[in-house]
Every structure is written in C-alpha cells, then in structure tokens.
Amino acid sequence: MIERERAARDRNVVRRGDGGAWHRWLPGVATLRTYQRAWLAHDLFAGVALTAVLVPVGMSYAQAAGLPVVAGLNATIAALVGYAIFGPSRILVLGPDSALAALIAGAIAPLAHVALVGPLAGSMPLPGLPAISLADASRLITGALAIAMVSVADISVLSRMFARDDGRETDRNQELIALGAANLLAGTLRGCAVSSSSSRTPVALAAGARTQLTSVVAAGCIALLLVAPTLLARVPLAALAAVVIYSASGLVDVRAVIRLFTVRRGECAVSILCFAGVVLLGVVPGILLAVGLSLLSFVWRAWHPYDAVLGRVEGMHGYHDVSRHPDARRMPGLVAFRWDAPLFHANATIFRDHVHDAIADANAPVRCVVIAAEPITDVDVTAADMLATLRDELAARRITLHFAEMKGPVKDRLRAYGLFDKIGADHFFPTVTDAVLHFARARKETATARRARR
C-alpha cells in the first residue's frame, strides 16, 4: 500500500511538470524540472548498482556480435543517455541485447574484412559519423531492418509491461523517438545497436530507481571505466563468454513451444519453422522468414475466416451459430449469415460462395438473406463489386439481400462506392432481429394480399 501511494505521489509530481509543449519531446528534462531531493539517493545507488550489470553484459554482447568490447560500452553509454533524455519511461533501461547481438553478427558478416576499432582505448570517443562506403551501407540495409523490427517489438512490449506495473501510461511514439535517438547516439560513439531488455530494467527497479537520472549515473560510471581502461584489463574472456551463454540459454523457451502445440498448433508450426530458418539460413534471413510466415498466417486467417449460419436459441438474446447450438431455430425462408472478417479481394469470392452454399443447405426455399455484418470491419473495391454481383444474383432468384449491425465506417465505404444507394437504405437494419421481423411482416403482408385476391 505504501509503495502504491508513493508511486501515485511521484506520478502526480511528474505530471505537474509536463506543461511546456517541447517537454513532451524531452520527458527526461520534464522530470528534472520537478525532481525531488528525496529521489537522489535512490537514483545514485540504483545507477551504481546497474553499472555492475551493464558493464559485463555490454562487453559480452559486443564480443558475441564480433565487435570490440569497447563498442558495447560505448553503445551502453549512448543508450542510457539517449533514452534518459527522450524516453517517456522513468525506469526503462536500454543497451546491447542478446537477440540483437546475433542479428548484428549476421548483418556485419559481409564486412568482416573491414578493420575494426581495435583494443580498448583510454578515453571516451568523440562523436562522429562512421566512415562507410555506399556499397557497404547497401549490404547492411537488410540486417538493419531486421534489427529495427526486433528492437521496436522489444521496447513496445517492455515499455507497456513496466508502465502497467507502475500504474503509468506509455507514449508509443515517444518510445520510438527515444529508441531512435539512443541508436543514433550509439552510432556516433562507435557503438552497436541497442534495445530494451527484460533483465536490466528489473535490476534498476530492485535497486530503487526513481527517474531517468539512474541511467545517467550508470552512464557516468561506465564512462569512468573507459578513461581508466586498466580496471577492465584483467576481466577474463571466459567470464564474458559465460554471460553470453547464460543469456543465450534463455532465448529458447521450450515451455512456450509446448504451450503453443497444445493451444494452437498452427502457430507452433510457424514458431518451429522460424527457429529452423534461423539455424539453417542464418539470423537475418531467419528473421525475414519469420516476418513473412507471420504475415502469411495473418492473410490466411483473413482469407479463410470463420463464418456461420445463425438461428434463435431459446432463453438467449440475439442470434447464434447453429453449428454450436443444434437446438437453434431458423425461420423458414430466411438465412442469417455471419462473416467474421473484413471483406477484401482475397476472400470476396469465398464469401459469395459460402452465402450460396448456406442458401443451398436451407431446409426451405429461401426468400431473404440477412448478413450479420458487425464483424466486417472493412470492404474494399473488389469486395464491393462482389456484393453488387451477389445482390443481382439473389434478385434473379427472387431473394432479397439485407444487412444488419453494419458499422458506420463500413456504411460510409459503401456510400463512397455507390453501393449503399444501389442496395437501398431500407435494406440495412440495426440488428439481426429487426431484419428478421421485417421479413416476417413482409411475408405476412404478402400472404394477406394473396388471400384477398382470391
């Protein structure tokens, strides 16, 4: 309870200092404007404690990536300072990462013949742009894209997680700005790519970190080690290798794969294929394969979504899937059909075929089709043309086409295509129940008129 009250008090103090517009772009500066003296001891201690973790981790990941250990330290300093200035989270810690180390190694492999910076120097490097030819830069683009995708995914997940635990809100755009600033600064200091980590930030939290000053203190401590390089000269390479091995062992989560196999085998297959791609093709091609398979899986689910014929279930509100409720009652002459995905060029024909199949499977001659359109979040031009064709096909068979529960933005799309007026505003209903009642009244009026003519 005390911790929650303290977090709420700290949060209110920081929010009161976010007045100026430019401070939204520099959250670290906004925090310093309202900095409390009571936080200083916590931030100083947390910064020093964090250094004990960041130094071996930064050196190890740089070596694993095929870079001099000083590149890892330079990148760590840049990441800490860059995120402390631009990052919205007061406790998130950036630096070299185990996943990025493998990506960096794969990305710079074509440039292995290029001379590297060399042994640890006894001073901080001056900021400057790296000397690299256009040809070399073009060969690094693919690896850079893979590194960017992994970094963005990491910081998006971790920033939300720690913000939720701390009772705060995160600004995703500002997170990307801070990540970009940290990597730009790391590049100018001859460092390597950096990202967030689920292991370093908890260290800062456990040490009592309050604000971004923790990262600045840690950066200062590492800078002192760079100007006194003999302090690190006797660190065994085996110790750095142990850090890499320990971190790499956590990259393979067997329990997560088993869980995927249990709950969703398709995603498990994608996971195994991605792992095999990294092992057989290399890190960067494996990452690109993973992205491609993920997109293909998404498109496949949208291409073949779930659909259902609906009926009325006794004691339940609305209309429900008859395959899940065998006792559901369907009104003779009417088919209520639900499509659980946007309508676009890839699945438009499948939608049309499934509507005709539902009509063919009906127990009585069909005179009305009601599309339960709430799950349909978009309709592209090809799908709109298909709906116009479907309407004409059904009209030729003396079957009316109605839509129920369609969202306003989707109706706006149909108006832009000219389809809304063609179908008729009286063919759109707020609920499936309203559409069914309209059909029942129309059928009753037709029957009454026929009897009157007799």
- For 382-408, how does the pLDDT look when each residue is reduced to its tens digit (9 = 90+)? 999 999 999 999 999 999 999 999 999
Burial of 166 (0-12, 13-18, 19+ CB in 10 A): middle
Residues facing 307 on adjacent strands: 339
* Average pLDDT of the residues in 402-428: 94
Percent of the chain with pLDDT over 70: 85
Which sign does the torsion angle of CA 72, 74, 78, 84 carry?
positive
Residue 289 has pLDDT above 50, yes or no: yes
Cα gap 109→228, rounded to integer Å: 31
At 403 the three-state DSSP class reads strand
Decide if 325 contacts 359 (C-beta within 8 A).
no
Give the model's confidence band at 22: pLDDT under 50 very low, under 70 low, under 90 confident, else very high. low
Give the number of C-alpha atoms closer than 13 A to the C-alpha of residue 224, restricted to the C-beta side: 8
Q: Which single residue is written with the structure tokens 């899940």? A: 324
Give the model's confidence band at 18: pLDDT under 50 very low, under 70 low, under 90 confident, else very high. very low
* CB within 8 Å of 356: residues ≥ 6 apart: 393
* Average pLDDT of the residues in 135-155: 84
Domain with CATH 3.30.750.24 in the chain: 307-453
pLDDT score recorded for residue 256: 84
Give the model's confidence band at 23: pLDDT under 50 very low, under 70 low, under 90 confident, else very high. low
Mean pLDDT of the chain: 83
Query: Which range among 39-53, 108-122, 225-239 shows the weakest confidence by mean pLDDT?
Result: 108-122
Residue pLDDT, tens place only, 183-213: 999 988 888 888 887 777 887 888 888 888 8
Give the model's confidence band at 26: pLDDT under 50 very low, under 70 low, under 90 confident, else very high. confident
Does residue 100 come out as left (phi exceeding 0), alpha (psi in the -120 to 50 range) or beta?
A: alpha
Give the number of C-alpha atoms closer than 13 A to the C-alpha of residue 217, restricted to the C-beta side: 21
Q: Domain spanning 307-453 has what CATH number?
A: 3.30.750.24
Residue pLDDT, tens place only, 75-97: 999 999 999 889 888 888 898 88
Decide if 395 contacts 363 (C-beta within 8 A).
no
* Residue 26 host element (H or E): none
- For residue 88, count other CB atoms closer than 10 A to its CB: 24
Give the number of C-alpha atoms closer than 13 A to the C-alpha of residue 67, restricted to the C-beta side: 27
Q: Extract the tokens encoding 179.
A: 């990540």
Cα gap 163→233, rounded to integer Å: 38
* Average pLDDT of the residues in 153-174: 77
Percent of the chain with pLDDT over 90: 30
* Average pLDDT of the residues in 129-151: 83
* CB within 8 Å of 246: residues ≥ 6 apart: none
* Average pLDDT of the residues in 52-70: 83
* Average pLDDT of the residues in 23-41: 82
Q: Extract the tokens encoding 50.
A: 């964090």
Give the model's confidence band at 166: pLDDT under 50 very low, under 70 low, under 90 confident, else very high. low
At 168 the three-state DSSP class reads coil
Report the predicted TM-score, pTM, of the whole model to 2 decimal places. Answer: 0.61
- For residue 32, the one-letter residue type is L
The DSSP symbol for 429 reads: E
